């Protein structure tokens, strides 16, 4: 695509150089630039992309999008705008042919439940002749085609490329996890959502948003950006009515509102809930009738996830009986309340819970289905929300019989410093003496819990879920999979005992 055509939709810009050059791709990482690419200089919190413009030129960039003037070789076309991040969203959508105008796009936002909800929607739609692509924390996929993702919601360039891939593979629908970071940074600008789902809002990401009020406001952007018209594509805002900010979210949108919940009277409502170690059963009353459900998923939080997915698919005219079939055969998502089985007589569960509400939910559920003692392994990430560290430790000790505080992705911080902050309130108040331990090494912590476990006990290993690496100092990624470590520990225990 020619530069002139690409930037035509930017209302204010200053183009210096040859606007007839053909652009082969768009990049924000100078190391990934290929010959013929446009390089976008993004001003970051710690690194300014303008510093790497010349590196991009060396790698073959023929044009550069900038916010401030920089020295570049004379043959390089410079496009100057006031906001390169906003311009990036516009140019990315244009370059990839506005793929979301040809897709039915469903976005899911909230502190917890995004991944499971998107996987449920994907399964229901795919099993009902609506070919669907998925983009989120774990991966992007459409049919047999997959790509690894590195953010819950990718940058605008990557996101539009993924949508184009979904179209190219015959996709009719796309379902997307939408993080608060992505909303704040404008990554989903230019995405034409048909439906948006709000799962819940609880303590998380305050290192980024500062306050819960700012976090709430950012989440609401997905609903205010649904549009203000009632034309060919009816828009739906699907909201968890049991969450205390649901009314706030509802006031932010012009879309038609459909509610779901358990405790408050909603358009889609669960009742008669029974939770066991084998799954969860309940009756759901909807605007299209009532039906009993028996999920393989365990826990009240999965009732909410299922209600959200069911509601979204009812909006897409999937019959209730067909939704039931898909929900009842769903076996779960990798790293979400996932059991590790190695022939042991106790339960081991790996879960991604990495914030207070998520941890509380999984521990409550585990307590309900555990006959023996409940052991919890918990850590907190480095360079992330420090306010939640003592809260997480307190929840782990309060809801389990024995807790082990250990390392997660420590990044630039010393693991001992993180653990000291986690245990600070427990130490100062001399709480729960003998109910917890601090083991810095995560592998050792998992081994210790499994050595302690006896028949009918349950171990919950939280924080990393599906992740297969641990991030330590100098941004090093070392192989580490909670599920593999736990399996290895159980096998060794069986040999020893």
Residues 131-185: pLDDT tens digits? 999 999 999 999 999 999 989 999 999 999 999 999 999 999 999 999 999 999 9
CATH no., domain 3-95? 3.40.1390.10
The Cα–Cα gap between 89 and 67 comes to 15
The yes-or-no verdict on residue 430 having pLDDT over 70 is no
Residue 275 in tokens: 């939770």
pLDDT value of position 207: 82
Q: Are 326 and 122 in contact (CB under 8 A)?
A: no
pTM for the predicted model, two decimal places = 0.94
Q: Element (H or E) spanning 157, and its range?
A: helix 156-168
pLDDT value of position 497: 42
pLDDT value of position 49: 95
Sheet (strand 63-66) strand order:
14-16, 77-80, 63-66, 37-40, 25-27
Q: Are 267 and 242 in contact (CB under 8 A)?
A: no
Beta bridge partners of 139: 148
114 SS3 class: helix
Predicted confidence band of residue 432 (pLDDT cuts 50, 70, 90): low
User: What CATH homologous superfamily does 338-496 map to?
Assistant: Mur ligase, C-terminal domain (3.90.190.20)
Residue intervals in the chain for CATH 3.40.1190.10:
99-328
The Cα–Cα gap between 215 and 223 comes to 14
Residue intervals in the chain for CATH 3.40.1390.10:
3-95
The CA-based angle 101-102-107, given to 5 degrees, is: 70
Predicted confidence band of residue 422 (pLDDT cuts 50, 70, 90): very high
Q: Element (H or E) spanning 220, and its range?
A: helix 212-224
The Cα–Cα gap between 274 and 428 comes to 39
**Phi, psi (deg, nearest 5) at residue 105:** -100, 125
CATH topology of domain 99-328: 3.40.1190
For the chain, the C-alpha Rg in angstroms (whole number) is 24
**Phi, psi (deg, nearest 5) at residue 78:** -110, 130
228: alpha, beta or left? (left if phi > 0; alpha if psi -120 to 50): alpha
Average pLDDT over residues 407-427: 94
Residue intervals in the chain for CATH 3.90.190.20:
338-496
Predicted confidence band of residue 402 (pLDDT cuts 50, 70, 90): very high
User: In the chain, pLDDT over 90 holds for what percent of residues?
Assistant: 91
The Cα–Cα gap between 422 and 409 comes to 14
Nearest partner of 320 among 276, 356, 283, judged by Cα: 283
The separation between the first and the last C-alpha atoms of the chain, rounded to the nearest angstrom, is 67
Q: Are 370 and 458 in contact (CB under 8 A)?
A: yes
Segment 61-79, tens digit of pLDDT = 999 999 999 999 999 999 9
Burial class (CB in 10 A: 0-12, 13-18, 19+), 309: buried
């Amino acid at each position: 695509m020619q530069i002139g055509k690409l930037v035509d939709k930017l209302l204010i810009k200053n183009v210096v150089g040859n606007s007839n050059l053909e652009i082969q791709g768009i990049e924000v990482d100078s190391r990934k630039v290929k010959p013929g690419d446009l390089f976008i200089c993004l001003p970051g919190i710690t690194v300014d992309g303008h510093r790497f413009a010349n590196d991009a030129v060396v790698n073959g960039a023929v044009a550069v999008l900038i916010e401030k003037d920089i020295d570049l070789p004379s043959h390089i076309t410079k496009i100057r705008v006031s906001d390169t991040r906003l311009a990036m969203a516009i140019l990315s959508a244009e370059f990839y042919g506005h793929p979301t105008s040809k897709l039915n796009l469903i976005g899911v936002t909230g502190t917890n439940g995004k991944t499971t909800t998107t996987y449920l929607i994907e399964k229901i739609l795919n099993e009902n002749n609506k070919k669907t692509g998925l983009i989120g924390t774990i991966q992007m996929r459409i049919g047999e085609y997959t790509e690894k993702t590195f953010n819950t919601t990718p940058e605008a360039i990557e996101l539009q490329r993924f949508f184009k891939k979904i179209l190219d593979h015959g996709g009719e629908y796309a379902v997307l996890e939408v993080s608060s970071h992505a909303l704040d940074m404008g990554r989903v600008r230019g995405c034409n959502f048909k439906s948006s789902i709000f799962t819940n809002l609880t303590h998380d990401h305050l290192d980024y948003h500062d306050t819960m009020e700012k976090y709430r406001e950012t989440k609401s952007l997905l609903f205010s950006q649904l549009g203000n018209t009632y034309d060919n594509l009816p828009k739906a805002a699907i909201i968890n009515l049991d969450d205390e900010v649901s009314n706030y979210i509802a006031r932010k949108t012009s879309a038609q509102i459909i509610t779901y919940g358990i405790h408050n009277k909603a358009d889609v409502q669960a009742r008669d809930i029974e939770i066991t170690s084998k799954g969860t059963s309940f009756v759901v009353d909807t605007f299209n009738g009532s039906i009993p459900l028996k999920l393989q998923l365990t826990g009240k939080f999965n009732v909410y996830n299922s209600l959200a997915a069911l509601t979204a698919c009812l909006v897409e005219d999937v019959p209730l009986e067909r939704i039931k079939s898909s929900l009842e055969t769903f076996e779960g998502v990798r790293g979400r309340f996932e059991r590790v089985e190695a022939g042991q007589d106790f339960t081991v569960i790996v879960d991604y819970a990495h914030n207070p509400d998520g941890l509380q939910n999984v521990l409550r559920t585990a307590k309900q289905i555990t006959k023996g003692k409940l052991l919890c392994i918990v850590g907190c990430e480095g360079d992330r929300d420090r306010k939640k560290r003592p809260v997480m430790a307190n929840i782990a000790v309060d809801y389990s019989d024995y807790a082990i505080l250990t390392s997660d992705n420590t990044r630039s911080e010393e693991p001992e410093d993180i653990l000291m902050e986690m245990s600070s309130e427990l130490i100062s108040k001399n709480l729960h003496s003998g109910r917890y331990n601090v083991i810095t090494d995560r592998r050792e912590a998992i081994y210790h819990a499994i050595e302690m476990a006896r028949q009918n006990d349950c171990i919950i290993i939280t924080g990393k879920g599906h992740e297969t690496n641990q991030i330590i100092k100098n941004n090093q990624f070392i192989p580490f999979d909670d599920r593999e470590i736990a399996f290895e520990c159980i096998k060794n225990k069986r040999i020893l005992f």
